[in-house]
Amino acid sequence: MRFTYFWGMAKKIFKGKGSLAIHGGRIPDPNYSHITPIYATSTFFYDSAEQGMERFAGADKTQIYSRWGNPTNAVAEAKIAALEADGILNSQGEPLVLKALLHASGQAAMTTLFMSNLQAGDTVLTHYSLYGGTQELLTKVLQANGIHTIIADLRDRAQAEAAIKSNPSIRLIHIETPANPTLQCFDLAMIRSLCDEYKLLMTVDNTFATPLLQQPFAYGADFVFHSTTKFLNGHGSAMGGVLLGKDLEFMRTKAWKWYVLLGGNASPFDAYLLIQGISTLELRMERHCANAMKVAQYLDQHPAVAFVNYTGLPSHPDFATAKKQMKHPGAMLSFEVKGGLAAGIRFINRLEMCVKAISLGTVDTLVSHPASMSHAGIPKEEREKSGITDGLIRMSVGIENIEDIIADLEQALA
């Protein structure tokens, strides 16, 4: 049996990402447990002082303390690293090897990422239409610690370059593609070329796409993170976040040190749920994606709908960018119901099957109305700058039977 599929080794064995999602990252279990056990333990004992010394020196790789690393978490980390690196070669022409750190949430993964790479006086360049938590982390927490943020439309190379030229303290470009909730896409290759030219770090939030639809490391990203709370877990049963990096030395030293000291490690129980979820990722994504395309086409021709934001429709301004760098436009979309705020609220209230909730990437279809919910506190004018109009509905299309999703939309829009 081949049971040691750590890191890059896995890609030599599997032909498809579906197999990798199931078998990647497995470790041999001393009790032959088929399913990865939950190591619900805070610490790991030594047989002798000498063994303890070897572990601290790194000669013996056995875990030491669960905030520093845990065997259940390590399986989830290896699985996601294998998926993100799958099929990519490094600059020496060898299979890319990534290191992952599993966190308690996407926010915790981002915190380790930004705090370990930036210091007071540095600036982050990013775009409009970011995940709310990312935007607030940057503009509130990091800002209060002397790390600044500049926002520009990074779909436009000239605008991005002008921002870089006028701000020599920019150290890092952060992008989320596709981005929440307008599904704007950013050209990974173009951003990389700017990062090369101006010696900047490139970080990507790959939550919406998952490694099955898009692999930012193939375009030279330095770091990628996911909220594993979303598609990777897939069932809405646990929070989590993962930070991935290709500079293994940095990941094992500084990123790991900041991870350990900030204390954002995942719980092994949540890691266990994540491992179960990832096993069906390919199957789920196929259905999520097929359903989303049908929902987008259905809404696009509906007389009660003003417009649909879905990168699989040629009308989306970033259709070409998505097509270039994604295997499929994915399962997230948003659309504007005609009639403003009241129409948006009416639509939400009439839904019978689709679940009224924020979050995304779960097996069930989740629908939210940003203007009355997640973004209600933001003045209308400011909201609209990020594309959040009064009748905008955000949908995470689930894996129910498509007939049921369409029927629910049909009766709610009637």
Ligand X SMILES: *Cc1c(COP(=O)(O)O)cnc(C)c1O
SS3 of the chain: helix, strand, coil, percent, to 5 = 40, 15, 45
Q: Choosing from 86, 187, 205, 222, which is the catalytic residue?
A: 205
Smallest distance, ligand X to C-beta of residue 262, A: 14
Residue nearer to ligand X on the CB measure, 171 or 174: 174
Residue nearer to ligand X on the CB measure, 331 or 412: 331
Alpha-carbon torsion, ordered 376, 382, 383, 389, to 10 deg: 120
Smallest distance, ligand X to C-beta of residue 361, A: 8
* Structure token pair of residue 373: 């919910």
Smallest distance, ligand X to C-beta of residue 359, A: 7
Q: Choosing from 131, 219, 259, 310, which is the catalytic residue?
A: 131
Residue nearer to ligand X on the CB measure, 70 or 105: 105
* Structure token pair of residue 353: 């099957």
Residue nearer to ligand X on the CB measure, 11 or 375: 375
Label the pairing between strands 123-126 and 305-309.
Answer: unpaired
383 is catalytic: no
Residue nearer to ligand X on the CB measure, 36 or 233: 233
Q: Choosing from 230, 284, 383, 394, which is the catalytic residue?
A: 230
Half-sphere exposure of 229 (CA within 13 A, CB side): 15
**SS3 of 184-246:** CCCCHHHHHHHHHHHCCEEEEECCCCHHHHCCHHHHCCCEEEEECCCCCCCCCCCCCEEEEEC
157 is catalytic: no
CA-based nearest residue to 394, from 313, 296, 316: 296
Q: Which residues bind ligand X (CB under 6 A)?
A: 105-107, 131, 133-134, 176, 180, 205, 207-208, 227, 229-230, 239, 241, 360
CB-based closest residue to ligand X? 106
The CA radius of gyration of the chain, in Å to the nearest whole number, is 22
Smallest distance, ligand X to C-beta of residue 360, A: 6
246 is catalytic: no
Smallest distance, ligand X to C-beta of residue 110, A: 7
298 is catalytic: no
Q: List the catalytic residues.
A: 67, 131, 205, 230
